Structure 1
Amino acid sequence: MNVSTDAPTLPASELARLDASFPARDVAVGGGAVVSVRECGQGPAIVCLHGIGSGAASWIDTAELLTPQARVIAWDAPGYGSSTPLEAAAPSAADYAARLGQLLDALGIESCVLVGHSLGAITAASAARSNARIRRLVLVSPAIGYGAASRSEARAKVRTERLATLDELGIAGMAAKRSARLVSDKASEHARQWVRWNMARLNDHGYRQAVELLCNADLLADLPPPMPVRVACGALDVVTPPAACEEVARKCGVRLELVDDAGHAGYVEQPQAVAKLLSESLAG
C-alpha cells in the first residue's frame, strides 16, 4: 500500500537558481542510453556521484562555490533523474562504474577528481580501480555495503526493510518521512528542503537497483590500489557514522576528516567545508 503524501517542493527562487547556475542535460553514452548531468564552471574537472536517496541537483551549493576554479559535473546515477537504468535487475558496482566511464568518454574528460558520497563512494572506488583518468578520489560519508560474507544477516535485513519502506510509503512518502535522517539536528531549513526535494525525485526502478548495489557491494574489498585519496564524514552522521568511515580511511591509509556540524549529507549541510576539501584535492 502507498501512503498518499504530497511531494516536497522547493521555493520557486531555488528552482530558478538551479536552472540558471547548475542546469541539467542528457548526455548520450552509446547504445541508446543517456546520463543526465548538471554542470557549471570551467577548468579541471571534479565529477560528483550522489548517494542512494539523492540526485545530481544536491551538489548545487558545493558546485557554485567551486565554479571559479573547476568544471563541476554531477551525474544522476543510472535509473535516477532521466538517466537510463542499467539492464541487470541487480547491477554491480562494476556496472555502474562502466556507465561512468562511458560518460567520461562522452564528455571528453581526460583527468578528474572523482567524488563519491555514500552509495556513490562504492561506484567511485570501483571506477578508480580501472580508470587512469581518475587522478584523485574523495569519499564522503562512504557506504561500505553489505556484500561481505560476514554481513549476510544484515544484508537480508536491509534489503527487506528498504524495499518494504518503499512499498509502504512510496517515493514521496519516503521523502517526507525519512529525509530528515540525512542531516543533523543543526541543519538549516535550506538544507532540509533540498534533501527532501531530491529524495522526492527518485525513480522506483532505479532506487530498487540501488538497493541491490548497497546490499551486494563490499567497498572495503573493492578499494583501488594506492592512489591519492581523502575520506571525510559528517561529525554528526548517523547513517554512515564516523566509526564506520574511520574503517574506510584506515584501509586507504589516510586519516578520516570530520566535517563539523554536519550529518550524512554533509555537502548539502556544510557546502563551504566540503568545497574547501575538494578545492584542496584539486590542487593536490
Structure 2
Amino acid sequence: MEQNTPHRALDPGADLLAALDNHFAARTVMVDAQGTRVSCRVGGARGPVIVLLHGISSGAASWLPCASLLAAGARVIAWDAPGYGDSTPLPMSAPTAQDYAARLEQLLAALQVSPDLIVGHSLGALMAAGYAAHAASDMQPAGFLLLSPALGYGAPGNETKSREVSAQRLEALDTLGVDGLAQRGPTRLLSPAATPDAQAWVRWNMRRLHPDGYRQAVALLCGDDIDEYLADASRPMHVGCGAQDVVTTPAASSALAGRFQFPFHLIADAGHACYIEQPQAVAQRVCATLHD
C-alpha cells in the first residue's frame, strides 16, 4: 500500500472549515499606495504577537490547528506569502528572502504591530532568516523559531543541484498541475502514521496554490542561501524538525543549528509538515521559545 494512502478523509471535515471561517478568517491588507495586497489570517485578541510563515506548498490557512491553540494566549498572524492566497506577487521573477521579508515588514507595519516571535516553516524559515537579517531594529522580534528549515540551493558550489531541483519542481507543476501536486503531497509532507484528517488538510491547502506564486517560490528555494542571512541575524534562533521529516531531514536541520550554535528540538511522530501533524507539540514548542 502506498505510504499515506487515505482511509477516509478526502476533504477536511466541516468542523475544521467552519473554525477556519469563524475564528481564523482571511483578511486582505493594503500595504502601500500602489494597492499591493497581503492576505493574512489573525487569531486571538491579546498577548504577544506571533507571526507564522508557511512553506512552499501551503498557505496561511494551514496553520489553523496550531494557531487555534496559540490564540488562547497570543495574537497570531499567519500570512499568505506573495503570490499565495490573495497576496500580490512580488514584481521580480526570481525574488530573494530579503524581498519576501520586506513585504512581511510592510504587512506588520500596516497592521501596526511589532512581532514578539516569528515562526517560519520550511521555505518560510528562509524568509524568516531574511527578515532577521534585514528588518528594521524596531520591527525585530525577540526571537525566531525555524521549523524544518529549507536551506536553499543558492550557495556557491550548489549550481548543479539548484538547476536540478528547479527543473524537477517546475516539470512536476507543468505535468501534474496544482491538483496533481496536492494529491501526492501528503506522501512527502507527512509521516506514514499521519491521520487521514492531516492528509486531507495538506491536500486542501495545496489545492489553493497559484502556479505563478509557486514558480517564484521555487526561484527563491533554488537561488538563495539561509546561511548568508543567519550570519547577519542578531536575535535568538531556535531550530525544530519533525523526527520523520524526509524533506528537510533532522540531520540537515540539526547541522544547521550546530553551525550557528542554535538550540535544536526534535518534534516526535511528525514528518515535514510538523505543525499540521503534531499541532499541540508544535504549539508547546512555540510557547517555550517565546518565553525562553
TM-score band, normalised by shorter chain: over 0.9
Q: Deviations over 1:76-121 (max 9, x none)?
A: 0000000000000111111101000101100111232001000001
Aligned-pair CA distance for 1:252: 2.6
The question of whether the paired residues in 2 share the 8 Å contact of 1:179 and 1:199 is answered with no
Aligned to 2:249: 241
Distance 2:50 2:17 in 1: 23
1:272 to 270, 280, 286: 280
State the percentage of identical aligned residues: 51
The question of whether the paired residues in 1 share the 8 Å contact of 2:98 and 2:134 is answered with no
Aligned to 1:171: 178
Distance 2:84 2:186 in 1: 17
Distance 1:252 1:27 in 2: 35
Aligned-pair CA distance for 1:227: 2.2
In structure 2, relative to structure 1, the CA distance for the partners of 1:283 and 1:171 (3 Å cut) is same
Distance 2:168 2:146 in 1: 26
Q: Deviations over 1:190-214 (max 9, x none)?
A: 1111111111100010000000000
Distance 2:60 2:54 in 1: 6
Aligned to 1:75: 79
Q: How does 1:91-106 map to 2 (within 5 A)?
A: 91-106=95-110
Q: Give structure 2 stretches of 5+ with no counterpart.
A: 1-9
Aligned to 1:112: 116
Aligned to 1:148: 155
Task: Name segments (4+ residues, structure 1) moved above 3 Å.
Answer: none
Q: Give structure 1 stretches of 5+ with no counterpart.
A: 1-7
Query: How many residues of Structure 1 are paired with residues of Structure 2 in the alignment?
Result: 277
Q: How does 1:6-21 map to 2 (within 5 A)?
A: 9-21=11-23
The answer as to 2:200 corresponding to 1:193 is: yes
Distance 1:71 1:214 in 2: 29
Aligned-pair CA distance for 1:268: 0.4
TM normalised by structure 2 equals 0.92
Aligned-pair CA distance for 1:153: 1.0
Aligned to 2:53: 49
Distance 2:106 2:196 in 1: 37
Q: Deviations over 1:135-158 (max 9, x none)?
A: 211100000000011211110100
Distance 1:194 1:104 in 2: 27
The question of whether the paired residues in 2 share the 8 Å contact of 1:158 and 1:215 is answered with yes
Aligned-pair CA distance for 1:272: 0.7
3-state DSSP class of the match of 2:38? strand
2:27 to 25, 28, 38: 25
Aligned-pair CA distance for 1:255: 3.1
Letter in 1 for 2:278: Q
Distance 2:114 2:123 in 1: 24
> Which stretch has the larger CA shift, 100-109 or 9-18?
9-18
3-state DSSP class of the match of 1:37? strand
2:210 to 203, 208, 226: 203
TM normalised by structure 1 equals 0.95
The question of whether the paired residues in 1 share the 8 Å contact of 2:153 and 2:221 is answered with yes
Alignment RMSD (CA, Å): 1.2
The question of whether the paired residues in 2 share the 8 Å contact of 1:226 and 1:252 is answered with no
Letter in 2 for 1:104: L
